[in-house]
Structure 1
């Protein structure tokens, strides 16, 4: 009981030291501002890239029969056109700028060969649409004159297509390497994974720098006169973990709120609350795995200048899973190599959420990866505690890892 209170005392000290400083408050505010500004800038460019407004097409009484054919042609070409019945005088006034009405073209004359009146040059999209509609009308008119039924002909043509039969069977079993890709969910998963990566890098670096600072200032010798090394390491990891979790929740939540507020998530069926909860879960597991190594291995050096020699390999241990996730999972989310790596504790926090976005995650894989990660934590605790106990009071040059692990 006394041991837990000591750990919490150290953790509280770390939280106050890291979270309540002016520099941290300013940096967090800047990151929140960047997220909000980036969301609005992205929304601006998305809206600017939206398709043009509907084409305005006027038709006379003689060409009004083309309305249905024009609508069918617009749907086929994925165009948007508004057809308005008007007189030629009104059309000329609108095209000449003498009217408040906006008009792109006006059709008059025979439906099979109408005259297309425009202000200057004909819009290529509108011209192609009118051409398709008039050809369709003329084709249907010829069938009618030959005694046929145009509607029946169109139904017959629409149903004239091959029936696809898959060797995979009627159950639609997925082949190796195929996936049920969900684009928006993949985007959210990659955004959350990126937040996770930078949160782990920041938290791990803080732990390593804190350990070396205490060694350099000799504060650790005073602290170890009253508490055990394992309590000091555990309190430091717990305190900075609380700070890191706070950052993850605030930044991830800000990202989700900003995306929802400006409508980026409209029509997208994603449970942002569940996605944020999943990110918190993998942050906790990933933090437990990596923080132990950062805290233990940092005790091997005694100067800030040497800290890179122990943190660089650990940074690679973070970047390798992240980049392998980006390149391997989209190409083959169900591949054997991806399945195996997803169960490796250092890869699971990055691969599992992204594989889930591709629909390539079996129901048993996430629980198994969580169980393996939890089973690996006690081993890492033993390694980190052993290295920290033997290295934290070591002065002078860098201590070799083999020496710290010796019995």
Structure 2
């Protein structure tokens, strides 16, 4: 039960042209470096804030042009995929513009910011299907090397039936105070931890989440100018008794930053870690421990993996693994966690099926 896990998806031979919409910090620190490293054809970029694209071609020579506006970007016949790297406000309008221009979409997470946006997105996905274009969500954590190997092991049954998933954020938080993210209510639960929730739902595929409980709180010593709580804990309980916990202790002070995780099953345990140079995966089963060699890092190879999977899905005529319809379950979990925290930690009864990509149970 320890076969070679699936590697980060390779790009298809015929590369698609990509336009990056939004040139903020994440686009310049992850998207564009990933595409440069992996030879993605970046046809052009555009930002609603023109100062973000000043000198962009000097920093990233692979960028062929800077667009003057959204209409020019979506009208460019060289663009096959629009990578929407903006914040959540107005994101669905940008998805709609790309879809109606016949472009495939890779949209930043979270795919929706409120429950009211879910039916809007579902309507856009129906329209995309009619037009023959794919809409994926940039859940690039699915291609973080350690998490990717773990997903492959879970899917091949290496630990038997998964009974519990645990994540601990044992590293400093990224700079939050004074950024737009700090103005997002319950930001850790609704934005930062989306990757952790998304990968957890991948490891609990086939289950149905029944109850979500979440809390967040300010910490002793947290600066007054930091509007959002620096602690958050989320618990998912499934109908069959399987469970998951995601915990951010706070802005941890440590010489060995890491994000350790455990996947416990009926036949074994996977122990691993991501970020901070801590990447590792080991499977314990039948009295034997097997450690897996890892190539690459979440930042920035995970971003290339998300784009490669979308391009390969287009090439093969199938839904991508991070298809927006699949990621909607992640969004529902995150929104329920926000509601629980807003209510002071009151458990939220839900029914969220966690299917395999493509709708398979």
Per the normalisation by structure 2, the TM-score is 0.25
Per the normalisation by structure 1, the TM-score is 0.23
